[in-house]
Amino acid sequence: MSDETKKHVMIGIVVACLLLAGTIMYNSFSDGGGGGGTGDRQIALMCAECGGFEVSVDEYREMMTQQGPEAMMMPGQMQAMECPKCGKKSCMPAQKCQKCENIFVFGQARDKNYPDRCPKCNYSEMEDFTQQ
């Protein structure tokens, strides 16, 4: 992998983290006023034991609270979280493909420069977004 490609991947991962954090923050805000803004929004997670699944924003926020501040996402050092299903520390934030609903971990398709590219159908929301 060339340095240039590595840089793209890094930037992509950081952007993905920011997007994810922003989404959660936005959702936290939007239901702070009691307006019930979270709706049925789901956060995708990938557990090494249980595979991919989704939790509600509330459940996810609870998970984050239990992890403590040191578990907040740092670019390049995302930590595994405790899985709400099996209780093991093998859960990572994941991405759900908009096209085929496959759940996967960011950056799985490493030879491509968009970390949110679905390894199954090759669709990348980020690529779609940047090309508009």
Counting residues that bind Zn ion (by CB under 5 A) gives 14
Structural tokens at position 80: 């595994």
Choose which of 20, 45, 118, 126 interacts with Zn ion (CB under 5 A): 118
Q: Which stretch binds Zn ion (CB under 5 A): 22-30, 31-39, 77-85, 106-114?
A: 77-85
Contact flag: residue 47 with Zn ion (CB under 5 A):
yes
* Residue 23: Cβ within 10 Å count: 13
Return the residues of window 96-115 that contact Zn ion according to CB under 5 A: 97, 99-100, 102
Task: Rule CB under 5 A: say whether 49 interacts with Zn ion.
Answer: yes
Residues that bind Zn ion (CB under 5 A): 47, 49-50, 83, 85-86, 97, 99-100, 102, 118, 120-121, 123
